[in-house]
Structure 1
Amino acid sequence: MRGIVSPVSRESGPYLLELQEGTFVRQHRKLHHRAPRLLASLLLVTAVGASLTAAAPATAAGSGTRAALGDVIPAPASVDPGGSPYRITERTRIRVDDSREARGVGGYLADVLRPSTGYRLPVTTHGDGGIRLRLAKGPYGDEGYRLDSGRSGVTITAARPAGLFHGVQTLRQLLPAAVERDSVQPGPWVVAGGTIKDTPRYGWRGAMLDVSRHFFRVEEVKRYIDQLALYKFNKLHLHLSDDQGWRIAVDSWPRLATYGGSTEVGGGPGGYYTKADYKEIVRYAGSRHLEVVPEIDMPGHTNAALASYAELNCDGVAPPLYTGTQVGFSSLCVPKEITYDFVDDVVREIAALTPGRHLHIGGDEAHSTSHEDYVKFMDRVQPVVAKYGKTVVGWHQLTGATPAKGAIAQYWGLDGTGAAEKEQVAAAARNGTGLVLSPADRVYLDMKYDAQTPLGLSWAGYVDVRRSYDWDPGAYLPGAPASAVKGVEAPLWSETLENSRHIEYMAFPRLPGVAELGWSPRAAHGWDGYKQRLAAQGPRWEALGIGYYRAPQVPWPAE
C-alpha cells in the first residue's frame, strides 16, 4: 500500500534526523497520530553519517576530463563518434534562430556556462561557428534533437524548442563536471567530435513530489525542477493534497489552504502555495520544458479537506487535523451533492492555473469508500475534469471503476502484486486506458536503499540502485499491450523528508536511471555500462551542490 508505515517497517526511537551541512543532526520531534501517542521514529540514529556524500568540492569535479561522445544519461538513441573535437573559448558565441524560443534556450545555456568558464558567450543571431541552436524540420519529433560536434563548432538541431533544450542537456554532460560550478574554473572545455541523433522512447517521463506530507517551498521545488531538467524529464507531478495538508489556494474554498494547509507530518507549520506561487512553479517548469501535473487526491486521502469544511463529511462533523502517517481512513461523502460542487470548484480553479493537458485525481487507498460509492464518485468526477479541458490521470485503482476515454492509470503496484489486480489494470489498458508505470519496489524514491538508510520507508522493500534501473517498462505488466505504456514516473513521498537535502539524498543516484528507462531505447539499457556512466555523474552532482548516496554498487571516482 502506498504511504503506509506499518509497525513492521518502523524503526524504534523518538528522533528524526535532518541532513545539515553534510551531517546528521538529531532533532527531537514527536510524531502524532489522531490519538495522542508517540509514533516510533521513521529514521535510524545509528552510525550512518558516512553513507551521505555532502555537496563539497571534489578534485574530479574540477578536472578537465573529457567525456566520450554518448557517455551521458539518458543514453542517446544513436551515437556516431569521430572527427575533431570542439573547444569552447573566450571567442565562442551561442548562435540562435531569431525566435523567442531559441533565444530562451540560448540564454539558458549561457547562464549555465558563463560562471564556470568566465567567458562572455554572447547569444546572437549572427556570425559563424561556435555553438549553434537551430530549429528546423526533421525526424526529431517534439522532443528529439541532433547534435553535431566538430572543429568549427557544435550544432544542435531540433524541430521544437523542447528538443533544443534536451540537446543542451546532452551538451552539458559532454563537458567536464566543473562546468556546473558557480565560479571560474580552469577548463579546458572540450566537446568530443561526432554526431548524436536522439529521440525519446516514451512521451511521459515524470517525477512526482509529495508536498502534502511535508511542505516544500517554491525555491525547493524549483531546485528539483532544475535537477529533473538535466536528465530530460518532462513531467512534474505535484501531490498537492492529502490527509496531512492541503497545499494550493482555492478562492471558493479558502479554508482548504489556510486551515487544511496549516500542518504536516509531525505537527510542523505546513504551508501552501498561493495562486501566484503555483503560477511561478508552472512558469519555471515550463521554462525547463516540464509540464506540471497537479494532483488532488480523492475520494480518500482527504482529511485536510474534511477538517476544513464540516459539510464535506457525511455526519457534518469536521475531524481534527491529522499529522500522522497512516492511510485509508478518510473519504469525501459520496452521496452528498455538495461534494461535487466542491470537486467542480477545485478542478475549475486548478485547471485555470495549469496550462498542461493533465489533471491527476488520485483515487488510491480509498479504503473507507465502498466499491459501489467509489464507482459512483469516479463516474461523477471524471466528466468534471473533461469539462475544464483536462485529461484524467489517476492511480491504478481507477481501473476498478470505468476510466474515462483517454484516461491514464498510474500503476504503483509491486512485482509481487496479485495477478487479479494486475489483470484488472491490463484489461483497462487493452480497452484504451494509457499506463504510466511507477512500480513501488522499483521507482519509489522514498524507499530505503538498504536497512541502514537513515531516511525513507521500506514497506515495498529495499530499492537499491540496480533494482531501480534493471527492468523494462514495455514488458513489465503481463497482458498489457506495449502500446498502452505512455512512460514512467518516479514518485517521492515525503513522510520522512523535510528539505532539499533529504530529497536529493533519496533521489540521487536512482533518479537518472528512471530517466534512462523513459528516454533511451530498450537496446541501450544495460547495467554494466550504465553504472560506469552513473559513476561519472558523481563529480557533476558535487559541482552542483547535490548531496547524494554513494551506492556501493556504483564504481564512484575516488574522493
Structure 2
Amino acid sequence: MMMKKINRIKHPYRLVLTCIIVLLVAEGRAQSSADFPLVPFPASLTSGKGEFIITPGTGIVYDTKDGFEQALAEMSRLIPSGTSLPKPSTKVIELQKDAAITSPEGYHIAITEQRVLLSARTPAGMFRAVETIRQLLPLSVEKRSGGAQSLRLPALTITDEPAYAWRGIHLDVARHFFSISYLEKLIDRMALYKLNKLHLHLTDDQGWRIEIKKYPELTAQGAWRTFDRNDSACMHQQKDNLDMAIDPKHLVQRNGKTLYGGFYTQQQMKALVKYAADRYIDIIPEVDMPGHMMAAIHSFPDLSCEGGSKWGELFSTPICPCKESTFEFAQNIFTEIMDIFPSEYIHLGADEVDRKTWAQSPLCKTLMEKEGLKSTAELQSYFVKRMEKFFQSKGRKLIGWDEILEGGISSTANVMYWRSWVPDAPVMAARNGNRVIMSPGNPLYFDNPPDAHSLENIYQFKVVPEKLTPDEANSIIGAQANLWTERVPSENRADYLYFPRLLALAERTWSKNLDYASFQQRLPAQFNRLEALQVHYRLPDLTGFVEHNVFTDSAVLDIKKPLPSLTLRYTTNGSLPVATSPVLSKPLVIKQPVTIKLAAFTTKGLRGDIYTLNYQKEVYQQPVALTQPAPGLQCKYYKKYLLNTLGMQTLQPDSQFIAPNAIVPAAVSAPSFGLQYSGYIDIPETGIYSFYLLCDDGGTLTIGNKEVVNNDGQHAPQEKSGQVALKKGLHLFYLNFIEGGGGFTLQLKYSKGNGAVIPVPDSFFKH
C-alpha cells in the first residue's frame, strides 16, 4: 500500500469577501443553477449548510498510486501548498479514487465544514473536479493577488459527468499565426470549462506552420508570405478596431520585403502537447491534403499533376494522387506529425479540392482505369482510403471534413461535419457506421461575427440530427467550434471571437440538463473571471435601440445595461468612444438629427462593441388605398449566383409564386438563388416601427419610399435593424434576399415603440 501524502498550504491567498459565491440556505436542498455561477453546470448539485474554510493548516490528502498528480498540481496552484508531509490536520481536502464512477471524466464532490472530498475513477475525472473547485473559489486565485489567511468553499454535493466525449475547439494557425504562449493560455481556458479537444489547423495555402525535419523547405519558404488580400482587409478595419492590426511580432524583413509568418519547432510543439495533456486535453493536428497545399507545392512543384500550384475559380491546385512520390511525401510528413502528436486522431482535412487538374492528367486517367474509378470524387476517396490505411498501420484514426463522403469512405473513418447546407451528411455518415463530430458553419464557425443571437444559437444547437435513431445517434461523439483566421490577425481578436461563445459550447457539450435562462444568469460571474484571467472577451450586447432610428418630435435613447458594473460612453462628433468620452448615465433626449457612437466599458477599461446609431426626423408615411387585397406576398425566384440583391434588377425570374410571408419556401432548392418579395404591409396602428432583418447571405427591406434596413452582400448570419414612421393602413413592401451557397437564413421581426420584438405575422402581408 502506497503512503497517503498530505500537502500543507503555506501561502494562502487573501479572501475577497465581496465575491461570487452565493452562500447556502438550507442543508440538503437541491439547488437551482442560478445559485452557483458554474459553467458548465453539473448534472446534480445539492447545497449543504455552512462552508469549508481553507487555512494554512489545511492539508491535501491523496494516494500516490491513484495517478492524481496533475489534479494535485492544479489544486496546489489554486491554493499553493508545500511538498512536506506534516501531521494530518482535522480539516483536509482529499482526492479519492472511486471505482464505482463509470464515466471516464465523471466525478463527485462533497464539501462539508470539516472536509472537501473529491472522488473520481480516472485522473481526467479528478482534474475536472478540481476545475469545478476552481470556479467555486474567489477571483483572487486567478489574479494571484496574494494575501491573508483564508479561502472559503460552500458546503455542497456535486455529481457530474459529460454528455459527449468530444468537446472541442479549433484554431487555424495557418492563415494567421499564434504564439505558443497564446496557445497555452487558450488550453488553460479550455480546461477551466472542461473542453477536451484542441484541433490545430497547421497548414494551408497561406502558410506551413510545423517543422518537418525531412523537408526543411516547408517552413524555410512555406512559413512566410507577403501580405495578402485578407491582411489588407484587416489593416483597413484597424482604424476603427485596433484588434484588427497585424501582430508585429510575426513580421520579418527579408530582401527588402516585409514578410508575415512563423512556425512551431517540433520541440516547441511537443512541449505544448504535454502542457495540454497535463490538463487532459488532446491536441489534434491537421495537415490538410490533397487540397489547400499551395504552401507545400511552391517548395515542391512536382507534388501537383501539372507542376506548381495556382488559384482556380475557388481553390488552389491540389497535390496529385496519381504519383507514388506523392504518397511517399505524405507518409513522411505524417510519420513526423505522429511523432510529435500522440493523439488517437489525426486530421487529414481533404476538403475543398479543385479536381480539374486530375481530370486532365494522363497519369490520373491511367490510375482511374486501373483501379476502376469512375470519377475524380472517387479518385479523392482513393487518396483518403490509402492515407487511412497508413494511419491505421501506425495505430491512429483518420478524421476528414465531410467532403470525404462524396466518393465513398470506409466505415472506420471519422467525419467532421461542417457543410450546414448538406444537412444529410452527418446522417449518411452515421448510417455508414462512421463516428461524427458536429461542427456546422452555422452556428459553430466562430470566425462569423458574433451578435445578440450567437450564444443562444450555440446553446440550443442540436448535436444529434433528428433523423437518426437512438442507435445511430451513438455515432455522434460530440461537437466542435472552429475559428478560421483569414480575418483574425491578433490574439485579442481571437479572444473576442472565442469568448463567451466558448462557454455556451462548453455547457452544450458537457451538461445533460440544459437551461439557457440559467446560463445567462451565470454569465456575469464568468465575465468577472475572464477579466481576471486577462481574456479579451466580447461584452454582452447593448439593447434598447436600432441602428437607424427615426422620430417625429423627439426620441429617447434609454439603454438597459446588461451588467451593472459597465459604464456607457458616447460621442456625437463621429469619433470613436474612448475611456474619457462622455458617460451616458441617464436617458438621452434627441430632438435633432444626430449620429451617436456608443460603447460599454468595464472597470478595467475593456471596451465592448461600438454601436453607430443614426437619428433622422420624419413625418408619418401615408397609407395607400387598395380594394380587396389578397393575403400573402408576390415572390420572384431567380436560380442564379448573385453577389448582392442589385443583381436581380436586370434579370428575368425563373418562376413566380405567392408566399404567405417573407420566408424561404421549401420549394426553393437551388444552391444559390435570389428572391424578390413585393406587396403591402398592413400596419395596425400609427406609430414608429422597428424592423429587424436577419440574413445569410444578404437582404434589403423597403417600406413605402424608404429603405429601412440594408443587410446586403454575401456574409454569415447577421441582423441589422431600422425604423420607419407609419400611419395605420397599407404600405408598399419590398424585401430582396440572396443566397450565395452554403446554407441560408432569413427572418424578419418587428416592434412598435418600446414593445417586444416579435416575428411579423402572416396577417400583415397583402398583395
Tell me if both proteins adopt one fold, taking TM over 0.5 as the criterion.
Answer: yes
Which segment drifts farther, 76-85 or 256-265?
A: 256-265
* Equivalent residue, structure 1, for 2:37: 71
* Equivalent residue, structure 2, for 1:34: none
1:519 to 495, 510, 518: 510
Higher Rg of the two aligned structures = 2
The offset of 1:228, in angstroms, is 0.6
Mapped to 1, the partners of 2:447 and 2:386 lie a distance apart of: 33
* Equivalent residue, structure 1, for 2:432: 431
Mapped to 1, the partners of 2:435 and 2:382 lie a distance apart of: 21
Mapped to 1, the partners of 2:562 and 2:313 lie a distance apart of: 38
The offset of 1:326, in angstroms, is 9.3
Which of the pair is proportionally richer in strand? 2
1:158 to 120, 126, 138: 120
* Equivalent residue, structure 2, for 1:338: 325
SS at match of 1:347: helix
Determine whether 1:540 maps to 2:540.
Answer: no
* Equivalent residue, structure 2, for 1:390: 396
Give the conservation status (yes or no) of the 8 Å contact 2:36–2:522: no
Mapped to 1, the partners of 2:97 and 2:313 lie a distance apart of: 50
Inter-CA distance 139–295: structure 2 relative to 1 (3 Å threshold):
same
1:367-406 mapped onto 2 (5 Å cutoff): 367-368=354-355, 370-406=376-412
Inter-CA distance 62–396: structure 2 relative to 1 (3 Å threshold):
farther
Output the amino acid matched with 2:342.
Answer: P
* Equivalent residue, structure 2, for 1:260: 222
SS at match of 1:331: coil
2:315 to 314, 321, 328: 328
The offset of 1:71, in angstroms, is 3.3
Inter-CA distance 213–172: structure 2 relative to 1 (3 Å threshold):
same
* Equivalent residue, structure 1, for 2:715: none
1:215 to 147, 155, 177: 177
Mapped to 2, the partners of 1:170 and 1:472 lie a distance apart of: 25
Give the conservation status (yes or no) of the 8 Å contact 2:417–2:436: yes
1:232 to 191, 194, 197: 194
* Equivalent residue, structure 2, for 1:248: 210
- Render the CA deviation track for 1:100-126: whole Å, top value 9, x for unaligned: 832332122211334xxxxx4667596
1:35-434 mapped onto 2 (5 Å cutoff): 63-67=18-22, 70-99=36-65, 101-114=67-80, 120=81, 127-128=88-89, 129-184=91-146, 189-263=151-225, 266=231, 268-317=259-308, 328-368=315-355, 370-414=376-420, 417=421, 421-434=422-435
Give the conservation status (yes or no) of the 8 Å contact 1:140–1:163: no
Give the conservation status (yes or no) of the 8 Å contact 2:411–2:432: no
Mapped to 1, the partners of 2:467 and 2:191 lie a distance apart of: 28
Calculate percent identity across the aligned residue pairs. Answer: 32
SS at match of 1:216: coil
1:558 to 559, 565, 581: 565
Output the amino acid matched with 1:200.
Answer: P
Mapped to 2, the partners of 1:389 and 1:327 lie a distance apart of: 35
Mapped to 2, the partners of 1:113 and 1:446 lie a distance apart of: 36
Give the conservation status (yes or no) of the 8 Å contact 1:437–1:485: yes
Mapped to 2, the partners of 1:534 and 1:167 lie a distance apart of: 20
Determine whether 1:445 maps to 2:446.
Answer: yes
Inter-CA distance 528–125: structure 2 relative to 1 (3 Å threshold):
farther
Inter-CA distance 384–149: structure 2 relative to 1 (3 Å threshold):
same
Output the amino acid matched with 2:441.
Answer: A
TM-score of the aligned structures, taking structure 1 as reference length: 0.79
SS at match of 1:281: helix
2:475 to 472, 484, 488: 484
Inter-CA distance 123–150: structure 2 relative to 1 (3 Å threshold):
farther
SS at match of 1:488: strand
Output the amino acid matched with 1:439.
Answer: P
Matched residue pairs, number?
473
Mapped to 1, the partners of 2:279 and 2:84 lie a distance apart of: 18
- Render the CA deviation track for 1:426-480: whole Å, top value 9, x for unaligned: 1221121011111211121111014xxxxxxxxxxx9622222222212467679
Mapped to 1, the partners of 2:468 and 2:439 lie a distance apart of: 15
Output the amino acid matched with 1:164.
Answer: M
Inter-CA distance 401–223: structure 2 relative to 1 (3 Å threshold):
same
Mapped to 2, the partners of 1:473 and 1:318 lie a distance apart of: 38
The offset of 1:555, in angstroms, is 4.0
Output the amino acid matched with 1:487.
Answer: G
SS at match of 2:474: helix
Output the amino acid matched with 1:331.
Answer: P
The offset of 1:61, in angstroms, is 8.5
The offset of 1:543, in angstroms, is 0.9
1:443-482 mapped onto 2 (5 Å cutoff): 443-450=444-451, 464-475=454-465, 481-482=472-473
Structure 1 residue ranges without an equivalent (≥5)? 1-59, 115-119, 451-461
Mapped to 2, the partners of 1:205 and 1:430 lie a distance apart of: 22
The offset of 1:92, in angstroms, is 2.0
SS at match of 1:233: coil
RMSD: 2.6
Give the conservation status (yes or no) of the 8 Å contact 2:55–2:149: no
Give the conservation status (yes or no) of the 8 Å contact 2:304–2:317: no
Which segment drifts farther, 192-201 or 549-558?
A: 549-558
The offset of 1:67, in angstroms, is 4.2
Inter-CA distance 466–389: structure 2 relative to 1 (3 Å threshold):
same
Output the amino acid matched with 2:269.
Answer: Y
Inter-CA distance 388–334: structure 2 relative to 1 (3 Å threshold):
same
Inter-CA distance 557–515: structure 2 relative to 1 (3 Å threshold):
farther
Which segment drifts farther, 159-168 or 264-273?
A: 264-273
Inter-CA distance 100–273: structure 2 relative to 1 (3 Å threshold):
farther
The offset of 1:217, in angstroms, is 1.6
* Equivalent residue, structure 2, for 1:43: none
Inter-CA distance 71–432: structure 2 relative to 1 (3 Å threshold):
same
Inter-CA distance 67–344: structure 2 relative to 1 (3 Å threshold):
farther
Mapped to 2, the partners of 1:400 and 1:333 lie a distance apart of: 18
Inter-CA distance 275–463: structure 2 relative to 1 (3 Å threshold):
farther
* Equivalent residue, structure 2, for 1:45: none
Structure 2 residue ranges without an equivalent (≥5)? 1-14, 24-34, 232-257, 357-375, 543-560, 567-767
Inter-CA distance 339–260: structure 2 relative to 1 (3 Å threshold):
same
Which segment drifts farther, 268-277 or 327-336?
A: 327-336
* Equivalent residue, structure 1, for 2:569: none
Give the conservation status (yes or no) of the 8 Å contact 1:245–1:261: yes
- Render the CA deviation track for 1:277-300: whole Å, top value 9, x for unaligned: 110111111011101110011111
Give the conservation status (yes or no) of the 8 Å contact 1:359–1:391: yes
* Equivalent residue, structure 1, for 2:555: none
Give the conservation status (yes or no) of the 8 Å contact 1:472–1:517: no
